[in-house]
Amino acid sequence: MSDRRKIVTGLGELLWDLLPSGDRLGGAPANFAVMASRLGDRGIVASRLGDDKRGRQALVALHPLPIDTSFLQSDTAFPTGTVSVSLLHGEPEYTIHEPVAWDQLAFTPEWQSLAQQTDAVCFGSLAQRSAVARATIQSFLASTRPECVRIFDVNLRPPFFSTGVIHASLAAATILKLNESELPRILFLAGLGSFPVADDEADLCKAARLLFDRFPLRLVCITLGARGSLLVSHESHHRHPGVPADLKDAIGAGDAFTAALAHYYLEAAPLPVLNEAGNRWGAWIASHSGAMPALPSEVLAGITQAIRAV
């Protein structure tokens, strides 16, 4: 294996979460890229900020974090993205404001070059809500190398998705990550009919295989909240019961899971290791406030050791 750090890109929205406790920088691509860097990859956030106070504050907030911001774009016409967030039983509820800078993502020569170098890219449905950003994201994905790992982390946020976006994203993806409540809707939007999915391993595996039959996916990851996750590949599947956590808030926990999944997938780790890594890092983020808490070196070493022991 080359000792070059893997280039892992979070593509899409960068925004401020306006929380009851104060404003925090977030957005799934940035959360994902920060965790990717902490795991040893070169985490890059590819997004667009407004040329405004919140945009400048975002750059200041990102500066001390282990993340490459050199591919951030600036927009003079639209503001930096914001989301009003309230917490209900520790789970976030969102009001996502529009139109904002990340609705105007531009497929520049710099982004084309990044796409051609990227080893793994994570993208979702939210950032594709505008025609401009959707075209840019699809162009980015089409410009990646065949061996690039393209992770479609669904993150459905009604009403910001459509049948066309879901179809195009599934067709471009290597890995599909979604939660159990999103699975029936994705199956329906994908034209696979209604499928009453319960917390039954056989039913979940059957649903994943329906997706394999229609799209060029290699792995489906179904997260089950505190009950862990199920990974399904063409050859096998693995269920993880989850890692107990003292829940502070769930913001960013899924993004940490995805970053860990990407990191170990690039190492060709087996399904049990992928599941352990995702659940451990997701639980650690969920036990802290915010999506990008400080990570002591001893915590990183301890969790890494636990993952390697699987």
pLDDT at 247: 86
- Placement of tokens 């029936």 in the chain: 184
So what's the architecture of 7-308 in CATH? 3-Layer(aba) Sandwich (3.40)
- Give me the mean pLDDT over the 1-16 stretch: 87
- Give me the mean pLDDT over the 231-240 stretch: 98
* Residue closest to 245 by CA, chosen among 294, 290, 279: 279
- Are 275 and 177 spatial neighbours (Cβ–Cβ below 8 Å)? no
- Calculate ∠ Cα 245-248-251, nearest 5°: 100
Q: Which amino acid is at 15?
A: L
pLDDT at 1: 36
Query: What percentage of the chain reaches a pLDDT higher than 70?
Result: 98
In tens, the pLDDT along 66-83 reads 999 999 999 999 999 999
Q: Is the pLDDT of residue 261 over 90?
A: yes
First-residue to last-residue Cα distance in the chain: 21
Write down the mean pLDDT value for the chain: 94
- The least confident of 92-96, 112-116, 208-212 is 92-96
- Placement of tokens 């282990």 in the chain: 66
Q: Is the pLDDT of residue 105 over 90?
A: yes
- Are 208 and 186 spatial neighbours (Cβ–Cβ below 8 Å)? no
Neighbours of 66 (CB within 10 A): 17
* Residue closest to 132 by CA, chosen among 110, 108, 111, 105: 105
- The least confident of 51-55, 86-90, 217-221 is 86-90
Query: 1 is written with which tokens?
Result: 């294996």
Q: In sequence order, which residues have a C-beta less than 8 Å from that of residue 291 and are 6 or more positions away?
A: 17, 24, 26, 31, 34, 251, 252, 253, 255, 256, 285
* Residue closest to 190 by CA, chosen among 213, 167, 169: 167
Longest dimension (CA), the chain: 51
In tens, the pLDDT along 270-305 reads 999 999 999 999 999 999 988 889 999 999 999 999
In tens, the pLDDT along 83-102 reads 998 877 777 788 899 999 99
The Cα 283–Cα 299 span in angstroms is 13
* Residue closest to 262 by CA, chosen among 11, 35, 13: 35
Query: Domain-by-domain residue ranges, the chain?
Result: 7-308
Q: Is the pLDDT of residue 2 over 70?
A: no
pLDDT band for 170, please (50, 70, 90 cuts). Answer: very high
